[in-house]
Amino acid sequence: MTPLVIFYLFKHQIPVWGSWDARSFAKHVIVPWVADNHAVLGTSTEPYVSKPLRRSALGDVSNVRNKAAWEAFILFLQTLDQEDPGRLRQTFKRCLHSLARKLKKQTFDYQIPHRISLRQVTLLLATFLEEPSKGLRPLAVSAALLRVFGEAFSIFAETQAQGLNEADSASGRPGDIVCYDADKKPALVVEVKDRDLTLLDLQDSVSKVMRSEGISRLLFAVPRLHEQQRTEIEKRIEKEWASGLNVYHIDIQVLANTAFTLLDETWRIKFLREVGKELDTRGDHSHREKWRQILLKVKA
């Protein structure tokens, strides 16, 4: 097919097998992807009809509002045009990594329902926590729960949670979560695990707590005790109680179900918001997106 024939077909909008239609690609692929990823590239539903993209050549910078930025963009594309396919793929991956970093900094638009039942909260948490997350999801949920319960029951003035990969020694906290009383003294230290509690976990956490003054309550938010070590763990818990440290353990889903039974429905709504805030501070796109998707399925 000669260039003249191709030009004629293009001019009269006659489809050519194997031809590249950038505007259709943008409309059917790029725009929906951007919409599904929190407008990371902008909010326009038709970015391909903007004036800079309707000119006959990208190198034409006449009547461009931000000329310096456009020239830099052209230089970037010209450089790519000279790259081999391998380098081109690497550049594309760098662009995707850049988008991922931008997504991490964004606050998601979580659709919080106006009403939610206790059963819905229970199912929602079960769905969210069933997938492995290296401890991130249970930590975010636990922090949100304790923050809400502290306010609802007037038992904590402040609740602080450390970063997922932040060492306790680096944060200066004796546990994953610390709840403070009105005098800014630690009222409860919480360790969060997404697996069964072992005797070694208990010993390590007790050692950390004992290095801090004035702490008398340690809670493990864990699914269950390690079955083969249950007897030893329970004996150690009794020993710590005798020395002045109260050690507890509970599944956070059980804690949520029990406490929300005693609270007004508005606190369940507040809890959903707090989980979103906790996830936003941790910046992991996949877990925030999962929470957003779960909330969208809640039927009031």
Mean pLDDT value of segment 27-35: 79
Mean pLDDT (the chain) is: 85
- Chain center to CA of 292: 9
Does the pLDDT value for residue 87 go beyond 60?
Answer: yes
What class is the 118-296 domain? alpha beta
Report H helices in the chain. Answer: 3-11, 22-25, 31-36, 67-81, 85-105, 118-129, 136-152, 168-171, 199-210, 230-242, 252-261, 265-282, 285-296
pLDDT digits (tens, 9 = 90+) for 190-235: 999 999 999 999 999 999 999 988 899 999 999 999 999 999 999 9
Does the pLDDT value for residue 49 go beyond 70?
Answer: no
pLDDT at 164: 55
Q: How confident is the model at residue 19 (pLDDT cuts 50, 70, 90)?
A: low
pLDDT at 60: 74
* 179, 184, 186, 189 alpha-carbon torsion, rounded to 10°: 20
Q: Which amino acid is at 143?
A: A
Higher pLDDT, 196 or 36: 196
Query: Which of 29-38, 83-92, 113-122 is predicted most confidently?
Result: 113-122
143, two tokens? 């922090």
DSSP 197: B
Does the pLDDT value for residue 1 go beyond 90?
Answer: no
pLDDT at 15: 56
Q: What DSSP letter does each residue of 110-145 carry, written as one string?
A: ----S---HHHHHHHHHHHHSS--TTHHHHHHHHHH
Does the pLDDT value for residue 18 go beyond 70?
Answer: no
DSSP 53: G
Instruction: Please state, for a pLDDT cut of 70, what percent of the chain lies above it.
Output: 83
Residues of the chain with CATH 3.40.1350: 118-296
Q: Which amino acid is at 233?
A: I
Mean pLDDT value of segment 175-185: 95
Mean pLDDT value of segment 264-269: 97
Higher pLDDT, 172 or 86: 86
Mean pLDDT value of segment 90-113: 82
DSSP 47: G
Find out whether 210 and 246 touch, Cβ atoms under 8 Å.
no
The whole model's pTM is what?
0.69
Mean pLDDT value of segment 124-148: 96
Mean pLDDT value of segment 57-61: 72
Q: How confident is the model at residue 180 (pLDDT cuts 50, 70, 90)?
A: very high
